[in-house]
Amino acid sequence: MRTDEAYLVDMLLAAYRIQEFVANLTEATFRQSALHQSAVIREFQVIGEAARLVTEKIKASHPEIPWPVIIGLRNRAIHEYFRLDVDIIWQIVKEDIAPLIAQLEALVPPEQNE
């Protein structure tokens, strides 16, 4: 059985990968690249699935992390992939990933987030 710490590391590493995937992209390039869109959406799926599996105790003790929103994005990416809006995905990448990384880094031992 995996631990909360393992799921938090999974979330953090996936968030790092999202930043890496879009590091040199403009919004226009992202909109035109099915490869980058797929890669980013896959990492959002990982973040959401790991968030779903984190215990309620951890979720309750860290309300600053928007657990339901994260899990909801995962659910939409898995079950309603045809309704994903690339503009919203880009907005989440640009506005929400860095704060999420900061929140997760505070929970994950430094040696684990590499």
Write the pLDDT tens digit of every residue in 18-75: 999 999 999 999 999 999 999 999 999 999 999 999 999 999 999 999 999 999 999 9
Indicate whether 42 belongs to any domain.
Answer: yes
Indicate whether 22 belongs to any domain.
Answer: yes
Q: Give SS3 for 38.
A: helix
Indicate whether 104 belongs to any domain.
Answer: yes
Whether 101 shows a pLDDT value over 60: the answer reads yes
How far apart are the C-alpha atoms of 23 and 108, rounded to whole Å?
23
Provide the domain limits for residue 35: 4-108
Number of domains in the chain: 1
Indicate whether 99 belongs to any domain.
Answer: yes
Indicate whether 25 belongs to any domain.
Answer: yes
Indicate whether 98 belongs to any domain.
Answer: yes
Q: How far apart are the first and last CA of the chain?
A: 22
Residues carrying an active site annotation: 74, 79
**What global pTM score does this model have?**
0.93
Q: How much is the pLDDT for 46? A: 98
Contacts of 54 (CB under 8 A, 6+ apart): 4, 7, 8, 67
Indicate whether 113 belongs to any domain.
Answer: no
